[in-house]
Amino acid sequence: MVIRLKVKTLAILIVLLVMASVIAVVNLPSNLLRSGAYDAVIRYFPWSSEVPDALILAGQNAVPNIDESDELLYMMSDGDRASFSNSGITVENQEKAIQYYEQFLRDYPDDPRVNDFVLWQLTLLHRKKGDITRTEELLNQLVKLPAKSAEAQRLLYEVKRIQSEPGEHLAVKGSVRFNGEPRSGVVLFLKSRSTIGGFSSNEIYQSDSITVMTDKDGNYSFYDVPPGEYLVGVAVPYPSVEGYFLLPHKEKFVVVESSKTKDYDVDFIPLMELVSPMDNEMIQGSTIQFEWKPVKGAQYYQVSLTSLERSREDGRIVGSLTRPLTEKWMGTSASYNIEALQTQYTGSSKSHAAGDDKNKAALDPNSILGLLYPGGEFSWSVDAYGTKGEKIGSSSGYYRLDSAIPFFTINAAGESEGDRYARQYDYEKAIQAYEQEIPDPKAVRKLALIYDYGITWEDHGNPHKALPYWEMLQNPTAMDQLMMADDYQKTGEPEKAIAIYEKLAEQGESRAEEKLGDDYRTRGMRNEAMQMYKRMLQHAPEPTGEKLVLMHLLDGDIDEARKVAEEAPIDYAKENLHALMMKVEEKDVSNTQFMQGLEGIELGKSSQVDQAVAALKQDDPNLATILKVLRYYVK
């Protein structure tokens, strides 16, 4: 009797346990969904009715907000320009969201959220990814739905423009290759040589863009293109070019003629291989040595340094500042003295790490600490050049900030107290510490720079406070003297500034020659100013070229202005000036408003320039653009 009771009781307990387990299993997906464990629901409970909700929520969690901008990397075949629109969506999260929504579309085609939500989210994600074919497939479904028809029609029109049909005249044809292998699905576009400025997100979808896509064999064709000179642009998803470098074409521009077909291939080659420093290596000594693998045919190499900037909120890398070094190296290594690099100014840069708070310290530490400094995080790259100075290789890839990692750091052991506070954006304490370090020239120089640049976004510097520190330096560098001279100009002592410029100009200092030319120009000494600008055009074509163009245009001498563009020795400067002159030659530069604007630029009368630009925006926007470009460079 006792035994039977125990068995019966045990049986009842087992049944209750089984029932409880079943209830727990049935309710577990709901509990997991409420706790945000969406992947667990999708993976372990595929039979659950909670899976559709989990897929939607997982997609939204991976990419919370999606706009219509693309996430493509835009590059021009001249190799000088690249632009990337980064909305903060990582490649990994973008792929995750696509997988979740695609699974929803595949497994739950009759769910009403397919039409209301999923198709549109997928369309925007594939558009960002640069998958034109899939984007078009989705849009063809969306145009049939009343709720999204108008928006889908607009986007479908933009996409179909890329899938161009053969026309009457084949103007440009070629192929896109990655390490010699053809690549399909690459979007290319043409940009007129006379276009001033760069390009932006959604460039390939603009109504005036001339856009095509490579076929399955990697070939492309542009039909019925108006005659002229064009840059060839490439728009690709970031992951597809990881590990590659766009080799600058030997012909920077493609010349389109009405009766001829131009061949123009686009080649991506593997990045140069860096040896050291790498993998967040800490540099301990007083020198830093860079090493890389050789490139066949390279005559010399040049190194660039990049400082990385982290957010003060979450530690993410939110900005970077790259500075090319001028030395040419014949071998596969380069050695620099770290202290010498600390005295090379990077110029004033205000930090993204400060966020939108205009009263928060925003001055980038490298603005006062130099190209390299203890405690900083850096990456580096090297470029290879051929016999004619053309770039034939590079280690600098097209990476987004969310994928950037430090290649090396400088040991903080030798860091001064002032430098440590500056790195932490605590400039009040940094100033106090630097004051205690006087007469150390490093501390004196940093105090001068802090006061010259200003600490916050709203603080544009105080030359009156900076000058005493510049004057305190016993052996100022050329850059120190230029900064001092600039402050003399700002504080109403031009004679002292000119004396410094003349002394440095005699020593061949190009920046002093430019300042001296500016002084001659503002004092009405036009011949002297032109002679100074022409002297420095060969080694500092920007902004010297634009200043010479301004003066020749004021004299009504377009031929001389054009000659300036031809004499510029550096390719990017020559092309920028050439584009400017093409704009000028297309227009009537005797226009009264335009001439008044030029005069305002020369005399430094901002209000006069603003009035001319405002008037020309209505009558002739291109002339207004020319004025804005000249003002930017001449200022």
Q: What is the mean pLDDT of residues 396-422?
A: 78
What residues pair up with 325 in beta bridges, in sequence order? none
Q: What is the share, in percent, of the chain residues with pLDDT greater than 90?
A: 26
Q: Residue type at 176? A: V
Q: What is the CATH number of domain 274-414?
A: 2.60.40
pLDDT at 551: 75
pLDDT at 572: 45
Q: What is the pLDDT of residues 84-101, one digit of tens each?
A: 555 566 778 888 999 999
pLDDT at 329 over 90: yes
**Phi, psi for 612 (deg, rounded to 5):** -65, -45
Name the band, by pLDDT with cuts 50, 70 and 90, for residue 288. very high
Q: Specify whether the backbone of 425 is left (phi greater than 0), alpha (psi in -120 to 50) or beta.
A: left
Least confident among 128-132, 394-398, 578-582, 622-626: 578-582
Distance CA 105, CA 111 (A): 9
Supply the mean pLDDT for the chain. 81
Sorted by sequence, the CB contacts under 8 Å of residue 288 that are 6+ apart come out as 277, 335, 336, 338, 372, 408, 410
Dihedral, CA of residue 199, residue 201, residue 203 and residue 207, to nearest 10: -120
pLDDT at 405: 65
CATH class given for the domain over 70-87+121-270: mainly beta
pLDDT at 359: 63
Q: How many CB atoms lie within 10 A of CB 299?
A: 15
**Phi, psi for 239 (deg, rounded to 5):** -60, -25
Domains 70-87+121-270 and 274-414 share a fold: yes
pLDDT at 563: 74
Name the band, by pLDDT with cuts 50, 70 and 90, for residue 573. very low
Q: What is the pLDDT of residues 501-550, one digit of tens each?
A: 989 988 888 788 888 888 887 777 878 888 887 777 766 666 677 777 77
Sorted by sequence, the CB contacts under 8 Å of residue 615 that are 6+ apart come out as 593
* CA-only gyration radius of the chain, Å: 31
Sorted by sequence, the CB contacts under 8 Å of residue 328 that are 6+ apart come out as 300, 301, 302
Q: What is the mean pLDDT of residues 183-199?
A: 74
Every domain of the chain and the residues it spans? 2-50, 70-87+121-270, 274-414, 540-635
**Could you check whether the bond before residue 182 is cis, i.e. omega within 30 degrees of 0?**
no
The two structure tokens encoding residue 485 = 């001279």
Sorted by sequence, the CB contacts under 8 Å of residue 193 that are 6+ apart come out as 228, 229, 230, 231, 253, 575, 578, 579, 582
Q: How many CB atoms lie within 10 A of CB 391?
A: 17
Helix (H) or strand (E) holding 74: strand 72-76
pLDDT at 130 over 70: yes
Q: pTM surpassing 0.85?
A: no
pLDDT at 44: 87
- Per mean pLDDT, which of 239-243, 563-567, 579-583 is the most reliable? 239-243
pLDDT at 220 over 50: yes
What residues pair up with 337 in beta bridges, in sequence order? 287
Name the 3-class secondary structure at 423.
Answer: helix
The more confident residue out of 585 and 158 is 158
Distance CA 479, CA 485 (A): 10
